[in-house]
Amino acid sequence: MQGVTVVKHPLVQHKLTIMRKKETSTAGFRRLLREISLLLCYEVTRDLELTSVEIETPLTTMMAPTLEGKKLVFASVLRAGNGLLDGMLDLVPAARVAHIGLYRDPNTLQAIEYFFKAPSDLADRLVIVVDPMLATANSAIAAVEKLKARGAVNLRYLCLLAAPEGIERFTKAQPDVPVYTAAIDERLNDHGYIVPGLGDAGDRMYGTK
Ligand code: PRP
Ligand code: URA
């Protein structure tokens, strides 16, 4: 599928299977999400541009590779996005962070915004939006629209699980934003939940409901 990368790494798939199980505890779910986020972060940053800088090792000087350009921005869609964010910051500790508070209205499935805070210079940075679930794509589209309205031009979207319906809507609405996911499931149910899915990611992470 154009613009969509499915991360098929065996460790990702194994951990995702444990996360899907209904008997997996809140603590286990959170730990696995953090572990998976390291592996997904590796994939979504795989093609970042490098430049060379001169450094001194204890033995000599050399030209050594270093990331080019301004620091990345990780944009977490609250609440569940924070489960991916934490592990990503372990790998890229210097990244800047945007928080986008959105919740799905359970009746309309529209994304309702309740918070937004982002670095001011989004235009100069690669912005990686993180949220475990891409269901109807209402939240993902709203998050990307908001970031673009604040100047972001270079974005990627990273999730754990996607519905085919969400992928189709998102890639039509935001064709310039590549999607990375660990799996594309069968479908959405009548309540907008991904099937087979893993349930409500926020509730499973935080033990709410
Ligand atoms: C979940 C999930 C996404 C959204 C996906 O958040 O984390 O943000 O649903 O659904 P969509 O593609 O249909 O918009 P939720 O609204 O449950 O909020 P929470 O993270 O605070 O639990
Ligand atoms: N949000 C979730 O957390 N899970 C779904 O299956 C759909 C939206």
Model confidence band, residue 17 (pLDDT cutoffs 50, 70, 90): very high
**Is residue 152 included in any domain, yes or no?**
yes
CB atoms closer than 10 angstroms to residue 53: 11
Res 1: pLDDT: 82
Beta strand pairing call for 4-6 and 179-181: parallel
pLDDT of residue 2: 86
Give the amino acid at 172.
Answer: K
In a domain, 54, yes or no: no
- Percent of all residues in the chain with a pLDDT value above 70, rounded to a whole number: 100
- Domain span at residue 77 reads 4-46+71-206
- Whether residue 132 is contained in a domain is answered as yes
The number of distinct structural domains making up the chain is: 1
* Domain assignment of residue 63, yes or no: no
30 counts as catalytic: no
Residue 64 lies in a domain: no
Under DSSP, the state recorded for 72 is P
Per-residue confidence (pLDDT) for residue 32, from 0 to 100: 98
Model pTM?
0.97
Helical residues (DSSP H) of 21-80, grouped into ranges = 26-44
Q: Does any domain span residue 177?
A: yes
Does the structure show a pLDDT above 90 at 209?
no
Q: Is pLDDT above 90 for 148? A: yes
Ligand 1, from 76, 139, 191: best to mutate by most atoms within 8 Å of Cβ? 139
Could you tell me the CATH number of the domain that includes residue 39? Answer: 3.40.50.2020
Q: Is residue 52 part of a domain?
A: no
**pLDDT, tens digit, 9 for 90 and up, residues 56-77:** 999 999 999 999 988 899 999 9
Asked if 136 and 109 touch (Cβ cutoff 8 Å), the reply is: yes
Q: Is residue 29 part of a domain?
A: yes
| Active-site residue, from 26, 66, 108, 208 | 108
